[in-house]
Amino acid sequence: MRRFEDRIVMITGAAHGIGLGIAERLAGEGAAVAVADVDAAAGERAAVRLAAGGTQAVAVTCDVTSGESVAAAVAAVVARFGRLDVLVNNAGGGLNLPDLDELTDDDWHRQIDVTLMGVVRCVRAATPHLTRSPHGGNVVTVGSINGLAPFGSVAYSAAKAGLRNLTENLASRCAADGVRFNLVAPGTIRTRAWDDQPDSLDRIASTIPLGRIGRPDDIAAAVAFLASGDAAWITGVTLPVDGGALLNAGRVFRDSAARTR
């Protein structure tokens, strides 16, 4: 399929993991891709990798905790390609934070800054350009099933939960301007963050109805659908991509809580 022919796509956090998987998928469907990442060297490597496959690709340094950095990154993409059609908000992972009773105000602010406010900054900078897209602007944000059910990691989960409401509000507000907003909520995905925790992945896989840990390409497929014309009449939705993990959310949370007592 070439659903993204003549589409300009900017993906935050695209140098590694889920973001890179999304970049590869959209590039394979014809998109010109801007790899936006705080890791400039890794972003350059990812862009070179995409370009080797025949894709128009550029790396832009983007720190989503800085409004100036985000604005500069969006401006660089528009200067390079002439416009922006699709924004994928992928940057914003979980920080290594303590449990609730030990969380400081600063811990909360840091998590919300990168996960929730990072998306706000990107949307704020990109929306004026998305409204001018000849194809209709599109925003897909990568959230988490942690924002939909009690899986623990309270600060991370609360920040991800905010993304759902933000997406719904933006979808309503920007529909008249032809810009769609949707959210993909991944379950556990095999990325480098889990490299030193194979036993944990095995345990998690045993709780997932479809019997395996997710892969970046599982999320990339969902993002590609929501960002494409196939979803032209879909806006404001949250799509869990979790192998059925939400079906067992209550039991998983209770088991996890019991192990920490």
For residue 239, list its beta bridge partners.
Answer: 184
Q: Is residue 1 part of a domain?
A: no
Residue found by looking up tokens 């944000």 in the block = 141
- Residues counted in the chain: 261
Q: Is the dihedral of CA 142, 157, 111, 120 positive or negative?
A: positive
Q: Is residue 3 part of a domain?
A: no
Q: What's the pLDDT score for residue 261?
A: 31
Q: How many structural domains does the chain have?
A: 1
Q: What is the mean pLDDT of residues 81-106?
A: 85
Reported confidence tier of residue 250, pLDDT bands at 50, 70, 90: low
Catalytic residue among 156, 189, 222, 235: 156
- Per DSSP, helices labelled H in 131-182 are 154-174
Q: Which residues contact 186 (CB under 8 A, 6 or more apart)?
A: 18, 142, 143, 144, 145, 214, 218, 219, 241, 242
Q: What's the pLDDT score for residue 98?
A: 62
Catalytic residue among 7, 25, 121, 160: 160
Q: What is the mean pLDDT of residues 6-24?
A: 97
Reported confidence tier of residue 251, pLDDT bands at 50, 70, 90: low
Q: What is the mean pLDDT of residues 200-206?
A: 89
Q: What are phi and psi of 209, to 5 degrees?
A: -55, -35
Give the tens place of pLDDT for each residue, 131-189. Answer: 999 999 999 999 999 999 998 889 999 999 999 999 999 999 999 999 999 999 999 99
Q: Is residue 73 part of a domain?
A: yes
Contact predicate 188/207, CB 8 Å: no
Q: Is 207 helix (H, G, I), strand (E, B) or coil?
A: coil
Q: What's the pLDDT score for residue 249?
A: 80
Q: Is residue 225 part of a domain?
A: yes
Strands 57-61, 32-37: pairing kind: parallel
Q: Is residue 92 part of a domain?
A: yes
Q: Is residue 236 part of a domain?
A: yes
Mean pLDDT rounded to a whole number for the chain: 92
Q: What are phi and psi of 74, to 5 degrees?
A: -60, -45
Active site residue 156: yes
Q: Is residue 80 part of a domain?
A: yes
Q: Which residues contact 213 (CB under 8 A, 6 or more apart)?
A: 188, 189, 190, 194, 201, 204, 205, 243
Give the tens place of pLDDT for each residue, 52-76. Answer: 999 999 999 999 999 999 999 999 9
Q: What's the pLDDT score for residue 194?
A: 77
Say whether pLDDT at 256 is over 80. Answer: no
Q: What are phi and psi of 28, to 5 degrees?
A: -65, -20
| Cα R_g (the chain), whole angstroms | 18
97 is in which domain, residue-wise?
Answer: 8-260
CA distance linking residue 224 with residue 210, whole number of Å? 22
Q: What is the mean pLDDT of residues 113-138?
A: 97
Reported confidence tier of residue 107, pLDDT bands at 50, 70, 90: confident
Q: Is residue 112 part of a domain?
A: yes
Helix (H) or strand (E) segment spanning residue 185: strand 180-186
CA distance linking residue 61 with residue 5, whole number of Å? 25
Q: What's the pLDDT score for residue 103?
A: 82
| Domain harbouring 34, CATH code | 3.40.50.720
Amino acid identity of residue 61, one-letter, is T
Would you give the DSSP letter of residue 113? I
Amino acid identity of residue 69, one-letter, is S
Q: What's the pLDDT score for residue 191?
A: 85
